[in-house]
C-alpha cells in the first residue's frame, strides 16, 4: 500500500545530526535538523531548524520564549536564538549569516 506522502519532510534539510546547544553556560548535546536560504531582499543568509525533544534543554529553558544560544556542530559554533517548544517538545532555532554547518559558497 502506498502512503499519502510521496516525499520525505527532511528532503530540504541542509544538516541533520549531532550538535551541542550552549545555553546559560551549559553545553547540552542534542539532535538537530537545519536548513538555510539567502534572503534576496537583504542578501543575508538565514538558517532555521528544530532541536529534537531534550529534557535537559527543557529544564534549563523553562518557560522562556526566546533565548540567545550558541549552536556547535562539527564546524564552527554560531550564535542563534531558541524559541519555545512545539507540542512535541521540539525547540525552534533561528540564526543568520554563516550557519554552523557547511554550505555551498558558489553563487549561480
Q: Where are the alpha helices (DSSP H) in 1-108?
A: 55-61
Whole-number pLDDT of residue 64? 85
Residue burial 73-84, b: 16+ Cβ < 10 Å; e: rest: beeeebebebee
**What is the pTM (predicted TM-score) of this model?**
0.83
Whole-number pLDDT of residue 53? 96
DSSP assignment letter at 52 = P
pLDDT tens-digit profile, the chain (108 residues): 455 655 555 567 889 999 999 999 999 999 999 999 989 999 899 999 999 999 999 999 988 889 999 999 988 899 999 998 999 999 999 999 999 998 877 665
d(CA 33, CA 18): 9
Amino acid at each position: 500500500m502506498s502512503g499519502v506522502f510521496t516525499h520525505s519532510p527532511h528532503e530540504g534539510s541542509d544538516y541533520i545530526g549531532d550538535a551541542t546547544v550552549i545555553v546559560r553556560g551549559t553545553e547540552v548535546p542534542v539532535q538537530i535538523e537545519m536548513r538555510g536560504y539567502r534572503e534576496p531582499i537583504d542578501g543575508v543568509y538565514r538558517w532555521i531548524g528544530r532541536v529534537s525533544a531534550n529534557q535537559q534543554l527543557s529544564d534549563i529553558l523553562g518557560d522562556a520564549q526566546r533565548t540567545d544560544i550558541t549552536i556547535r556542530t562539527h564546524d564552527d559554533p554560531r550564535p542563534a536564538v531558541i524559541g519555545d517548544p512545539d507540542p512535541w517538545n521540539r525547540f525552534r532555532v533561528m540564526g543568520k549569516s554563516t550557519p554552523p554547518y557547511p554550505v555551498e559558497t558558489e553563487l549561480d
